[in-house]
Structure 1
Amino acid sequence: ELALKRAHASIVLCSTFLSCFPGYFSVLAVVLRTSNNSPWTNEFDKIELSCLIDSISTTNPRIEWKKITNDGPSYVYFDKKISGDLENRAVIREPATLLITNATRSDTAKYRCEVTAIDDQKSFDEIVIDLVVRVKPVVPKCSVPKSVPFGKSAELNCVEEEGFPKSQYQWFKNREEIPDDPKTSLKFFNSSYMLNVETGTLKFSAVRREDAGEYFCRAKNDAGYAECPPQTMEVYDIDVVGIILGVLVVVIVLLCISVGICCAYKRDIKTCSFSKHRQHTLTINPVFLSKPIIH
């Protein structure tokens, strides 16, 4: 019972001491934090990767920054110098924050801030920051058929490969946005198209006369958007009667040619047979005429 009382008194004493001096033990360890572990910026803008030291007792800690990619980590700040991919494009803000002054798309990666404090009991700490550099789309490549027969299928394509994150696509007809689903708009309700916002493909299963017009595509992401120039698609009727008449004319012409060839072939055969018969007659008669007639 006496031992229990002494243990309880020790616990109370320790609790009282810690409550009165909460920072006493914290200064024996280096502790890092960041104000934003998933920052983003647009290409060519500046961005800050914050690495804040909450507690430390070492007066001159060693600070390092590493860029982590699929190929492994590489130094971007070492021995108090900016190096590697960020050379001449970054600075250190005391005590350990990394400021990139001109971000490029290749800077998208994870970055690790490491602080080593040899005079602290917990002498090492690190934080990882995931940086995304967004890239505005460039002008997309668009293909629009110039003319399509009424009732036939048609496909319009839009491609853009520079933007990051990956671009999504919108199509416009006569400056008006085409909805993803035609059934959501009275104006496009009877249209037969399917729009894929991920691939930029606009497909018509059966083109109507109302589908004729000027079309252009917009590629967009979080960094901005870009558009291709408008292109006109016309819808024309198929002349069924004309096609049938044309086919009949071709058939008649081919038939006439075939008949002519057959007649010519038969005429040549008859002429050849008559010539052979005549030649045979002429060669036999002189033989009989040359022999004397015996009575």
Structure 2
Amino acid sequence: MRLCATSCQHVRGAQLHAHNALLCAAHSGPGARNPICPSRRAKDTGLSCPLCTSHYNCAPLNFNPALLTLTTLPTPPHAAPLSWTLTLLCCRMRTLPLLVMLLLCPACLSVSVSSTKPQVEVHEHTDAVLSCEFRTEKDQNPRIEWKKKGKGVTFVYFNNRFTSAYASRSKMEGATLTIHSVTQKDSGDYRCEVTASEDHVNLGEATVTLNVLVPPHIPSCEVPSPVFVGSSLELHCKDQMSVPPATYRWYKDNKGLAAAAQDSPYNIDPSKGTLRFRSVSKLDEGMYRCESSNNAGAPKSCVAQKLQIVDYPLNLTILIAGAAALVTLLLLGCICVCVCRHRGCCGKTKKSKCPSPYAPPPPAARHLKTYKPTKSFMI
């Protein structure tokens, strides 16, 4: 393309702060009038053409700091296709030579979509504003769609209307989507799509991530009771509703238990909410409760439950002792037998050779003669 210096008055979107400068027209193309000789150009300015080495036309231009509108003409044959190059050469400047390159491409004039806040965090039951801004080249009435991405793609706004799940609690302002009274189910990635059929690139999109914060709920606490002295024990606490996930703290008789106490008979996992005892004693007996907390709201606690530590009953003790003694005796007996057999002190009894019992021979098979009836005598 070439830049006509005599018609350059305003540049849209760019300011050139210079005084008493000479605006050298960019490449004027073959056949231009009064081209500057490359030797003269090099002598006067010391600059070279970024496109070729001839066909220049410089014209003086005095201007104030203002907006200049560039008038562009067809691209010369040796320029790259599908790209527009504007070259401003300062042929002569009293203080310092200036070279300004403005590169424009068709994508700059196509539809563009962006969001001023791609990450949105709001509390539950409040409004969430998902911003979406767009600019088009020609199409003044583009198609706007909002979709939610998950396991599949769910339409939120389509064909100039909301879908049934959002119709009663959403609104559109331009391309910006507002969802009222959001819940945890509304968390996810939302995509704003703008389709301008008349533009070079007719589709643009921007993604906004919505994270709905949920304050702690009353956790569920599991405190088994009663527990025998000396046995291991594990207490559980869980809040499955809070976002971000809650951290947990255990209390005994309304006194907080240290999570990492040295030489402690218990161990606490704040992220999982477990309280483990390696071996409980009577000193561990008391009222236990758990508290869940996160940065979305006030902490919540479950109702305190009593942990009762009891001794083994006498009959149970006797039963366990008897069973242990019996097992011990059986093991000792087996060991003694094995040792005795290994040393050979237990002689093997010889088996008496007894004659095999008499088995009478089977009876001889009788040859039965076939009886043939004879003729009877008639008297």
Report the TM-score range of the alignment, normalised by the length of the smaller protein: 0.5 to 0.7
What residue in structure 1 maps to residue 300 of structure 2? 226
Pick which of 204-213 and 43-52 moved more. 204-213
**TM-score, normalised relative to structure 2:** 0.53
Aligned partner of 1:164 among 243, 255, 258: 243
After TM superposition, give the deviation of residue 51 of structure 1 in Å: 0.6
Letter in 1 for 2:202: S
Counterpart for residue 119 of structure 1: 198
Is the 2:213–2:296 contact (alpha carbons within 8 Å) kept by the matching residues of 1? yes
Where does the alignment leave 5 or more consecutive residues of structure 2 unmatched? 1-36, 39-51, 59-85, 91-98, 323-379
Find the counterpart in structure 2 of residue 4 from structure 1: 53
| Aligned residue runs from structure 1 range 6-25, under 5 A | 6=55, 11-12=87-88, 16=100, 18=102
1:210 to partner: Cα distance: 3.8
Q: CA 1:16/1:26 → structure 2, altered by over 3 Å: closer, same or farther?
A: farther
Specify the SS of the correspondent of 1:182.
Answer: coil
Alignment pair present for 1:75 and 2:148: no
Deviates more, 1:102-111 or 1:193-202: 193-202
| Change in 2 beyond 3 A, CA 1:229/1:31 | same
Between the two structures, name the one with larger relative contact order (CA 8 Å, sep ≥ 6). Answer: 1
- For the pair shown, which has the larger CA radius of gyration, 1 or 2? 2
Deviation at 1:27, TM superposition (A): 6.4
Show CA shifts across 1:248-295 (max 9, x none). 9xxxxxxxxxxxxxxxxxxxxxxxxxxxxxxxxxxxxxxxxxxxxxxx
Give the whole-Å Cα distance in 2 for the aligned partners of 1:115 and 1:103.
24
Structure 1: where are the runs of 5+ without partners? 184-189, 249-295
User: Which residue in 2 is equivalent to 1:144?
Assistant: 223
Note if 1:64 corresponds to 2:158: no
CA drift of 1:46 comes to 0.9
Evaluate the alpha carbon distance shift between residue 149 and residue 26 of structure 1 in structure 2; reply closer, same or farther with a 3 A threshold.
same
Matched, 1:181 2:260: yes
Q: How far apart in 1 are the matches of 2:247 and 2:227?
A: 26
SS of the counterpart of 2:154?
strand
- Whether the aligned pair in 2 keeps the contact of 1:74 and 1:84 (CA below 8 Å) is no
Q: Distance in 2 between matches of 1:243 and 1:118?
A: 86
Return 146-155 or 211-220, whichever deviates more.
146-155
Normalising by the residue count of structure 1, what TM-score does the alignment of the two structures yield? 0.67
CA contact (8 A) 2:107 2:201 kept: no
Counterparts of 1:4 and 1:170 in 2: how far apart (Å)? Answer: 78
Cα 1:243–1:60 shift into 2, 3 Å: closer
What is the CA deviation profile of residues 108-141 of structure 1, one whole-angstrom value per residue up to 9, with x for unaligned ones?
Answer: 2211001112333332210011212233343222
CA RMSD in angstroms comes to 3.7
Aligned residues: 238
